[in-house]
Amino acid sequence: MSTKLMRWGNSLGVRIPKAAAEASMVCEGTVVEVTARKGEIVIRPVRKRKYKLSELLAKMKPENLHGEVDWGPPVGKEFW
């Protein structure tokens, strides 16, 4: 599949054909990482890592545990 680079301000932009976008599960607004290596341009979507609660809890240590904070009595329409 071929496409043409176009001028976009001082940069170059590439249009990703619909079939390629669907196959790689990207859409308008998707954040991508652009790298150049060995004369090639590689564009890949940045995927957020999904954490498991057990992984996060395993990283808790006594030095990063925090106690309760006393914010004082309710103010205005706050209800405790």
Question: pLDDT digits over 64-76, tens only?
Answer: 888 889 988 888 8
Q: What is the CATH number of the domain that holds 15?
A: 2.10.260.10
pLDDT tens for 3-28 read: 999 999 999 999 999 999 999 999 99
Interatomic CA distance for residues 15 and 29, integer angstroms:
13
Domain residues for the domain of 10 are 1-46
Q: Is residue 18 part of a domain?
A: yes
Residue 80: its pLDDT value, please?
A: 65
Mean pLDDT in residue range 44-53: 90
As for how many domains the chain has, the answer is 1
Mean pLDDT in residue range 36-53: 92
Mean pLDDT in residue range 44-55: 91
Q: Is residue 28 part of a domain?
A: yes
Q: Is residue 56 part of a domain?
A: no
Q: Is residue 24 part of a domain?
A: yes
Under 8 Å between Cβ of 1 and 21:
no
Q: Is residue 65 part of a domain?
A: no
Q: Is residue 60 part of a domain?
A: no
Under 8 Å between Cβ of 13 and 5:
yes
